[in-house]
Amino acid sequence: MLSTFIATLPSTLEQGLLYAVLALGIMLTYTILDFPDLTVDGSFPLGGAVSTTLLLQGWHPLAALLVATLCGALAGLCTGLIHVKLRVRALFSGIIMMTALYSINLRITGGNALLSIPRTTATLFRNNPVANLLPLGLRVLIISGVLVLALKVLLDLFLATRAGYLLRAAGDNEVVVTSMGRDKGNVKIVGLTMANALVALSGAVVCQEQRLFEVSMGTGTMVLGLASVIIGINLLRRVDRVRATTAVIVGAILYKVCVAFAIACGLSPMDMKLVTAALFLAILASGTLKRKEKADA
């Protein structure tokens, strides 16, 4: 069992980094905006659908990723407009867009629920000049690591700007946003747009790495991302000078390690959604118990 688990660690680390992009997007809505955005269950496969379809049409991998990211941003923008302009509750806004995106994703793929990318097709990780220079066994790890690091730095820089502080204030204290002469609704729309852009990018990158798109690949995405966010933030909360983005990336990797360990223990891959739900429940329950103990003390 242990040997099997150790053997899968490199691929587990790769998966953790790929899904860390998703976790960064959910961090924006969950920890900063305090917005339960279920759009991500639709924007994650949206990125995969757009990226895969464009690759099959001969597009460059980076161009396909860019378009997929923009489509995710558009999905987040629509959620924000539904919530802010039509005054629909946050949860319902996400559910509406998630439901709509299922049909939209099928439209994008021409009605195909499953698409595979031929091995001869260039992707971010294969058959391109940069990837061909890297060692075969380390390509995914290096490229995904560079991507996650770049996104982390850009996100940290943005959160340190005036716009970033306004985004934080929109989730913590909306009165502060209003007092600064800004529309809190517009700030929320910006945050949802950015978050779903990152989620769609993650879906596009995952599809390029797996060379496969499945229309149901977004099921449970919200729970997976939240588990990564909560694991990272709870574990590294007391560590000095650790940014939230770093904690979230670590959480995504640790989440995938837990899943890999469960498989090594003999659980079937079909049980992974159950493992995810159980792990998420354990994290939430432990946090609740700790707060209760502090309150009693």
How is residue 216 written in tokens? 């149901």
* Residue 215 CA: distances (Å) to CA of 43, 212, 259: 11, 10, 22
Expressed in angstroms, the distance from the first to the final Cα of the chain is 41
8 Å CB contact between 70 and 197: yes
Token pair listed for 246: 């770093």
Spatial separation of the C-alpha atoms in residues 254 and 16, rounded to whole Å: 7
At 270, the pLDDT band (50, 70, 90 cuts) reads: confident
pLDDT tens per residue, range 277-292: 777 777 777 766 565 6
- Whether pLDDT at 171 is above 90: no
Distances (CA, A) of 86 to 63, 90, 170: 33, 11, 18
**Domain edges within the chain:** 2-217
Mean pLDDT, residues 188-196 taken together: 95
Give the model's pLDDT for residue 2: 67
Given pLDDT bands bounded at 50, 70 and 90, which one contains residue 24?
A: very high
